[in-house]
Amino acid sequence: MKRAKSIYSKRIRLYKRGCDLLNSVLGEICDNYSKEKKADMQDIVMLGLGNRIIGTSKAIYELTMRGYQFDVAILVRSLVETSFVLWYVSKNENNTEKWLSGKIKFRDIKKELIPFPNENLKQFYDRQSDFVHSNVGPILSLLEERKTKKR
C-alpha cells in the first residue's frame, strides 16, 4: 500500500508538471502575440479551447487514478466535443465567428463531422453519450465491473 501511494503521488506530480508546462507554453504564445503581432479572434479561441483540453485532460487523469470511471466517461465525452469544436474553428475564421456568435451549436458541428471517419469512433462517442445521459446499460455495466473486481 505504501509503495502504491508513493507511485500515485509521483505520477500526479509528473502529470501536474506536464500540465503546468503546457499552460506556460500557452502563456508564452499569448505573450508573443501581444508583443509581435495582434492575435485575431480565431487565435484566441483556439488558445482558449486548447487550454480547456489541457484542464479536462488533467481532471480525467486524476479521476482515473482515483477510480471514478463513470465521471471519467463524462469528461472524455467533453474532451472529444471540445476537440471537435477546436477542429471546426481552426478550419476558417468564418467558422470561428459562427461559433462565437452562437449561430452554430455542437450538434451542427457534429453533423459536419458525421459520418465519422470510422465506425469504432462513432461507437466510442455513442457509448460516452450513454454515460453522460445516465442510460441504463452503461450504468449497469459499471456495477457488473465492480462486482467482478471484488471477486
pLDDT digits 0-9 by tens, 45-93 = 888 898 898 889 889 888 888 888 778 888 988 888 898 898 899 888 9
Q: What is the total count of domains within the chain?
A: 1
More confident site: 85 or 2: 85
pLDDT beyond 90 at 6 = no
pLDDT at position 111: 76
- The residue count of the chain comes to 151
Average pLDDT value for the chain: 77
Residue 26: band (very low, low, confident or very high) from pLDDT cuts 50, 70, 90: confident
- State which residues form the domain around 22: 2-150
- 2-21 residues labelled b (16+ CB within 10 A) or e (exposed): eeeeeeeeeeeeeeeeeeee
Q: Find the distance separating the first CA and the last CA of the chain, reported in whole Å.
A: 20
HEC sequence for 66-106: HCCHHHHHHHHHHHHHHHHHHHHHHHCHHHHHHHHHCCCCH
pLDDT digits 0-9 by tens, 32-58 = 766 666 768 888 888 889 889 888 988
| Of 17, 43, 16, residue with least CA distance to 32 | 43
Instruction: Choose the most confident range, by mean pLDDT, from 9-13, 23-27, 35-39, 101-105.
Output: 101-105
Is residue 79 a contact partner of residue 47, using CB atoms and an 8 Å limit? no
